[in-house]
Amino acid sequence: MGMRDLLSEVARTYDRTAGSRRDVVGQQVLRGVASRTDLALPHGYKAEGHGGQATPAATPWIGVFAQDGESDPKRGLYLAYIFSADLRNVTLTLQQGITWLEERLGRGRAREEHLRHHAARLRRAVSRRESLGWVDEPQLRDKAARPRAYEAASVIAKTYDTAGLPSDVALMEDLLAGIAFLHQVREADRVWWTGDEADVLEMSYEPGAHNGPIGDPLADFHPKDSSDYVVEIKARQQVKRRTHEKLVEDFGGHIATCGYDPITRLQHPKDLVLRRQGAAEGEEWLVEAKVVRGGNQTVAVREALGQLYEYRHFLYQGQDDPFLIGLFSEEIGVYAPYLENHGITSVWRSGAGWAGSPKAQDWGMTTT
């Protein structure tokens, strides 16, 4: 017995129409995966079978997770063998978690667009030579929301015919390759979430509600550590400076004295959200912070404009549009009126204080 026999057994016994009761054979096979000792998984990894709970899954799957807890099928990155709805194929796929996006993006097209967009970003971290024979997405052949989301969430995938599965040795080789891809993509994802360099890709979207203690304008303001830190990128070591976080931290402390609540808690990928103290729900200012590097205002402005538009489109569907603010580490000159013409207010450091475009001054966000 081994992974080949397990995959074959699921394809042979799973019956979506039989329900999800404990006495259903296919469900028993999947529920028993976690206790199996014959799968010869790589050290530090475990497997779990999933066939649905109250409702049988359209596309049953077996997850392969790191025992250190880093893999989370609801919101993290993980590996899974996902069966097509007709059970003719099973695909080893590097998946993004899909469940956590439902609250903000729903279960339809918006979620799929986000997943597919971020999968394309993550895919750039995968070694091309090692990924020969792999594809981007599996074909699960079911129109339900969850299978469609699984397809969109796939970063890279290897599909097998269940009637002619490869040997356990070949399956293990592919699984080890998948684990290597997982490490590459996970590290790249961490760099993108914490970096503010010009060559860092945009971050993925993370929704969340934010309710802090009444009366404390800084209750939900928790800027990231601004100390230097080290990351490994493409076999070379870089020291990245968290000047971006320092900019957010300083502005947050300032804006709290201007009658606004600065909020960072649970706001990724948003840099900062502002709400007017004592104002009604719904009015919100979305702030994107950019460090002007080497005097290059153009790059900083372009990145701020693009990300503000992108976040407003994806993160505020079904809600009132936020006011948009570009926060900069230094004056941006002629770009201030340019941004205002595009509906974006700008604020920047000015000596020991803060200056900004006319709208920022009208809102009482500046000191000069």
pLDDT tens, residue by residue, 309-357: 988 988 888 888 999 999 999 999 999 999 999 999 999 999 889 999 9
Strands 285-290 and 323-328: parallel
Q: Is the pTM of this model over 0.75?
A: no
| pLDDT confidence of residue 212 | 40
| pLDDT confidence of residue 83 | 98
Low-confidence residues in the chain, pLDDT < 70? 69-72, 128-129, 190-242, 280
Listed by start position, the domains of the chain span 3-192, 229-362
**Domain 3-192 in CATH 1.10.30:** no
Residue 322 in contact with residue 315, Cβ under 8 Å?
no
Residue 165's φ and ψ, nearest 5 degrees, are: -65, 145
| pLDDT confidence of residue 193 | 53
Q: Which fold has domain 229-362?
A: Trna Endonuclease; Chain: A, domain 1 (3.40.1350)
**DSSP string computed for 40-109:** -PPTTEEEEEEEESSSEEEEEEEEEEETTS---TTTSEEEEEEE-TTSSEEEEEEEE--GGGHHHHTTSH
DSSP SS3 for 294: coil
DSSP SS3 for 352: coil
Same fold yes or no, 3-192 and 229-362: no
Number of neighbouring beta carbons within 10 Å of residue 85: 18
pLDDT tens, residue by residue, 69-119: 666 677 789 999 999 999 999 999 999 988 877 777 788 888 898 899 888
